[in-house]
Amino acid sequence: MKELTEVFLWAAEEGFSHWAYLDCSGIELKEEVRRMCAAGVCGQYGRNWSCPPFCGGLDVCRERVSRYSRGILVQTVGDLEDNLDYEGMKAAENRHKRAFRRLAERLRLCWPELLALGAGCCTVCRKCSCPDEDCRFPEKRLSSMEAYGIVVSELCRKNHMDYYYGPDKVSYTSCYLLD
């Protein structure tokens, strides 16, 4: 775990608010999360190559996740003017996604086979080519933790990381599986 000390320093350098060791044995992929995707909760089901059904069924996702024993959780926490501050939410989300991509690039130098699972759908392209054309950047495409069926709040709790930071706060959580 000593080498993760340096990864934690990189997470701080990239601007994440919080980071924690991730024990991959506690990752559960749940069908009920996938059902929320299929119900159109976020509107990306079948419209983004990184989302269900295109990111693979839960059996495929479980097989991918089972290759890893450890990783790191990262979070960006943003302040909001009130619980309807959409601009504040988007600003925190954008900061998180930029930091997430930068750290993923750094980590791939040490762990070329890492599995990076982000917050929300892939935003490499301004508009996803799905389903009309193939993905323009499959090597950069990133699925979300939810696309894989993960209940993010549960995974945070299992790994001693807060998920809720109080009123007028928003948090975005992602993870990197490293082995």
Residue 76, burial from CB neighbour count under 10 angstroms (0-12, 13-18, 19+):
buried
Range of the domain at 39: 2-177
Q: Residue 2: is its pLDDT beyond 80?
A: no
CB atoms within 10 A of CB 64: 17
Q: How confident is the prediction for the chain on average, in pLDDT?
A: 94
Which residues, listed in sequence order, are joined to residue 175 by a DSSP beta bridge? 73, 117
d(CA 11, CA 27): 21
State the helix-helix crossing angle for 2-14 and 86-110, rounded to 10 degrees: 140
Q: Provide the whole-model pTM.
A: 0.93
Quick: pLDDT tens for 58-95.
999 999 999 999 999 999 999 999 989 999 999 999 99
- Reported confidence tier of residue 140, pLDDT bands at 50, 70, 90: confident
Q: What is the pLDDT of residue 102?
A: 96
Please count the structural domains in the chain: 1
- Reported confidence tier of residue 145, pLDDT bands at 50, 70, 90: very high
What mean pLDDT is predicted for residues 114-136? Answer: 93
